[in-house]
Structures are given as structure tokens and as C-alpha cells.
Amino acid sequence: MSESTLPGALVTNAENDVMDVLGADVAVPQPQRFKEGVKIVLRFLVVFGIAMVLWELVKFIGGSPWRFSTADGALFNLEWFPPFEWKIASDLNMPHLWDIFGALIQPAQRNGPPLVNVLAQAAVVTMTAALAGFLIGTAVGLFLGTVFAHSALLERSLVPYVVASQTIPILAIAPMVVVWLRAGWWSVALLAAYLCFFPVTINTLRGLRSPDPRAIELMNSYAASTWATLWKVRYPSALPYIFTALKIAATTAVVGAIIGELPSGIREGLGGAIMNFNQYYAITPHKLWAVIIFTAVVGILFFITVTLVERVMTRNMRKLEG
């Protein structure tokens, strides 16, 4: 074997030996099968259904009186006067579920498009900023986590500031960011990134330090470079930690984007829709609840997207290792 090919051969041999040493510890957990995915969806729907039943049960016992009848009242006319009167269960605080979901197919304004269409357009605006913030926050988090994992001095010096950054309420930071950047789309994206980078930083740091010490020692014995050890051992072992952080960051990115829209003057996003219907809450509370539920669904879909990406990446890694 010539000297020109020796380093590459050593790293390749080291990689194979690392797989033998770590075994299942290096491999990312196998993605759940289709049947298991269906069970998860069914469990979610069951819990959601139970929550809906409990919601209406509370209103049935202590909500506002209600009437359900046909338009002319000829076929049936049902009235109910709950035995208790709880303020929290009033129609103002807890609208009926059929009013909330019905609001989605009703016009948002007189002679306007259905509310669900308006919210879908608003979701595109918000999710564009949320996705940009998610990518920026992920990049910053991966960079900081990698630097901290390789420098104990920087970790001890800077991690306290990273932690302290998350103790400042984002509502206090949002107006300042908007003023600095003169409002606009980028201010919203940066606020989303602000909430995303912290979990990615911490979990990347933990993940990069999670490999079996035997694997690191084996790579060192083959004179593998720091970068080779990072890409062949540390990052594969850190993937479960990183994707856990990314799933958290996906939901916080949506929250950050919505909060960023409030002081920025952007009214085309979900934050603007929340502000708009909040002004008419006393008249149409069910519309604000419809916006809130729609926003939650958007966040869940973002979470599911990251989960699917995780499964694809882990499946490809398993094929490469095989």
C-alpha cells in the first residue's frame, strides 16, 4: 500500500471497525412501521375526540343556555338550560365546537371568501418566515453545538449566555428587532430563529459527546483527522439528539413567526389574523378560536414534516451502513 493511499485506507478501515464496535449504538433507531404510524394517528384522534367530548360536556353542565332547531322551527326545536352557570363555560369563553368549526367555512367578512381560505393564505406568509427562521436557527445551533463540543473553554464561556438569552421574554425582544430591521419579513424570520437555535445548540452539544469512547479511541488509533471523526462517528451518533431538537424547533418557529408579526405591522399572516379577530372577540369568539385551532394544525404539520425527514434520513443511513 502506497503512502498516498494510506490515510484514506486507514480512515475507511476505522469507519468499518467503528461500526463493529458500536453496533446498534451507532445506528439510528429504525423508523416505525406503517401499522405503528396508523396506531399513533388513531391514538391522537382518540385523545382529540375525548377532549371534544369533555369540552361539550362542560358546556352541557355549566354553559350558556342554547337552542338547536330548524330554520322555521317546524321539524324540531330543542332547548337546553344547564343546571349550573359557570363563567368559564359561557359561550364567550368556550364557544360550541360546531360554531368553531362552522366558522371555518363561513365568510371571514360579509360577501368575502370562507375563513379557511383566508387562513390558508395567511399560513403561507407565516410559514415562509417560520421556515426561514427554522433554517437559520438550525444552522446557528449546529455551528455553536459543534464549536462547543470541540472547545471546553468556549463552552464554559458562552453557554451561560446562550442559556441567558432564552430567559428574556420574546415579547420584549420583538419590538426592538422590528425597529432595528425596520419591520419587514426578515425581522419575523429572525425572531423565529431566536427561538429555534437554543434547543438545536444544546442537543447538538449533547449528541456530539454521546458516542462510545471506544469508537473515538479507535478513530484516534487510525490517526483519523478531527473532521473524519466528526463526520464518521460524532454526527451519526448525534442525529437522534439533533432531530429531537429540530422537532421542538419546528413548533417554536411557528410561535416565533406569529409573535414577530404582531409588532411588525404585517397583517397578511396568522399573527395579523389573530389580532384582527381578537378585536371582535366579544361579538364572534368562535372565529378567534377557529384561527387558534387552524394555527395549531399548521404547527403540527410542520412537526410531522420534520419527523418524516428524520425517517428518510435514518432509513438512508441504515442502508449505507448495511
Report CA torsion sign: 48, 52, 57, 59. positive
Write down the mean pLDDT value for the chain: 84
Question: Is the confidence at residue 109, as pLDDT, over 60?
Answer: yes
Which pLDDT does position 183 carry in this prediction? Answer: 67
What separation, in Å, do the N-terminal and C-terminal C-alpha atoms of the chain show? Answer: 26
Collapsed DSSP state (helix, strand, coil) of residue 78: strand
Q: What is the mean pLDDT of residues 61-68?
A: 82
Domains present along the chain, CATH in parentheses: 31-91 (no CATH), 95-321 (1.10.3720.10)
Rg (CA), the chain: 26
What residues contact 164, with CB distance under 8 A and at least 6 apart? none
Structure letter (DSSP) for residue 216:
H
Question: Is the confidence at residue 3, as pLDDT, over 50?
Answer: no
**How does pLDDT run across 177-189, given as a tens digit for each residue?**
888 877 678 889 9
Which of the two residues, 66 and 88, has the higher pLDDT score?
88
pLDDT band at 65 (very low <50, low <70, confident <90, very high): confident
Q: What is the mean pLDDT of residues 123-134?
A: 95
H helix or E strand, kind and range, residue 69:
strand 66-69
Could you tell me the CA-to-CA distances from 124 to 262, 272, 322 in Å, in that order? 16, 13, 40
Q: Between 285-321 and 235-264, two packed helices, what is the crossing angle to 10 degrees?
A: 160
Which pLDDT does position 292 carry in this prediction? Answer: 93
Q: Give the Cα separation of 269 and 182 in Å (integer).
A: 18
**How does pLDDT run across 239-269, given as a tens digit for each residue?**
999 999 999 999 999 999 999 888 877 788 9
Q: What is the mean pLDDT of residues 277-293?
A: 90
> Minimal CA–CA distance to 103: which of 281, 239, 241, 311?
281
Question: Is the confidence at residue 26, as pLDDT, over 50?
Answer: no
Question: Is the confidence at residue 136, as pLDDT, over 70?
Answer: yes
Question: Is the confidence at residue 19, as pLDDT, over 50?
Answer: no
**How does pLDDT run across 189-234, given as a tens digit for each residue?**
999 999 999 999 999 999 999 888 888 888 878 877 888 888 888 8
Question: Is the confidence at residue 32, as pLDDT, over 70?
Answer: no
Q: What is the mean pLDDT of residues 9-37?
A: 51
pLDDT band at 158 (very low <50, low <70, confident <90, very high): very high
Q: Give the Cα separation of 298 and 193 in Å (integer).
A: 18
Which pLDDT does position 298 carry in this prediction? Answer: 93
CA-CA-CA-CA torsion for 163, 168, 292, 124, nearest 10 degrees?
Answer: -70
Question: Is the confidence at residue 321, as pLDDT, over 80?
Answer: no
Q: 196 near 137, Cβ under 8 Å?
A: yes
Which pLDDT does position 85 carry in this prediction? Answer: 86
Which pLDDT does position 69 carry in this prediction? Answer: 65
> Residue 195 burial (CB < 10 Å; 0-12/13-18/19+)?
buried
Question: Is the confidence at residue 119, as pLDDT, over 90?
Answer: yes
* Range with the poorest average pLDDT among 43-47, 122-126, 148-152, 171-175: 171-175
> Minimal CA–CA distance to 196: which of 122, 248, 235, 145?
248
* Range with the poorest average pLDDT among 25-34, 116-125, 134-143: 25-34
Could you tell me the CA-to-CA distances from 309 to 229, 253, 312, 314 in Å, in that order? 24, 17, 5, 9
Collapsed DSSP state (helix, strand, coil) of residue 211: coil
What residues contact 10, with CB distance under 8 A and at least 6 apart? 222, 223, 224
